[in-house]
Amino acid sequence: KQEVTQIPAALSVPEGENLVLNCSFTDSAIYNLQWFRQDPGKGLTSLLLIQSSQREQTSGRLNASLDKSSGRSTLYIAASQPGDSATYLCAVSLNTGNQFYFGTGTSLTVIP
Amino acid sequence: EAGVAQSPRYKIIEKRQSVAFWCNPISGHATLYWYQQILGQGPKLLIQFQNNGVVDDSQLPKDRFSAERLKGVDSTLKIQPAKLEDSAVYLCASSTGTGMYQPQHFGDGTRLSIL
């Protein structure tokens, strides 16, 4: 069974800092990996999707990397802003099915 | 375009009672998902529909949970009877197809509290 772990569980940084969120998974036979953002009381918003054949994806201040062999992904946020405060979840899907396996998330607080 | 609509937003019931949640996906989206998100955890897929057929319900506790999507549009998820461990947020999502490159669009969820 696929296990997805996110470290740290919570992170607090001053505005303007660059930061890295980590995601690790146990089964490297993934189809793709997605990073989501979840605001309190809201559903999930997809940020970046990395296909298994890709190494990274970028969108604005966000950059996600994927290393299948080591079972790791990172989400890099540049020049953090208070509006970035949210919970960030990574999810992987396996070649064998349609299901996403989610991590437990990292709660980010950016202090003005 | 209108997003995924869910109702109610909040529900409080006592254990052993029944409860139902409703989801209206984005117009034209063939695939609909129900997730359970327990506090402090990531969402867990309960059931996936493609039109009105079930694609995956392997993690649905079928002794107490049921879901239907009769006309291939909106869907209901029911719990009967509810247990304390069912306290969670129930998220509905939809996508245009089953392909893993199709992004899932999420509703705001229904927060269920069991007393």
Predicted confidence (pLDDT) per residue in B11-37, tens digit: 999 999 999 999 999 999 999 999 999
As given in the structure block, the two tokens for residue A87 are 């919970």
A47 to chain B, closest Cα gap in Å: 10
Interface test with B, best of A25, A32, A38, A51 (most B CBs within 10 A): A38
* A4 in contact with B, Cβ within 8 Å: yes
Average pLDDT over all residues of chain B:
92
Per the CB < 8 Å rule, is A46 touching B48?
no
Per the CB < 8 Å rule, is B91 touching A97?
no
Decide: B40 and B83 in contact? Cβ < 8 Å. Answer: no
Is a pLDDT exceeding 70 seen at residue B112? yes
Of B12, B42, B15, the residue nearest B110 (C-alpha): B12
Position B104 scores a pLDDT of 84
d(CA A12, CA A97): 36
Nearest CA in chain B to A102: B42
* A102 in contact with B, Cβ within 8 Å: yes
Omega prior to A40 cis, within 30 of 0 = no
The four Cα atoms B22, B24, B25, B30 give a dihedral, to 10 degrees, of: 90
Is a pLDDT exceeding 80 seen at residue B100? no
Position A95 scores a pLDDT of 67
The strand pairing partners of A8, in sequence order, are none
Taking the mean position of all CA atoms in its chain, how far away is CA A38? 11
The total of other beta-carbon atoms located within 10 Å of residue A75's CB is 22
d(CA B65, CA B86): 10
Nearest CA in chain A to B89: A41
Is a pLDDT exceeding 60 seen at residue A97? no
Per the CB < 8 Å rule, is A105 touching B43?
no
pLDDT category of residue A31 using cuts at 50, 70 and 90: confident
Per the CB < 8 Å rule, is A98 touching B55?
yes
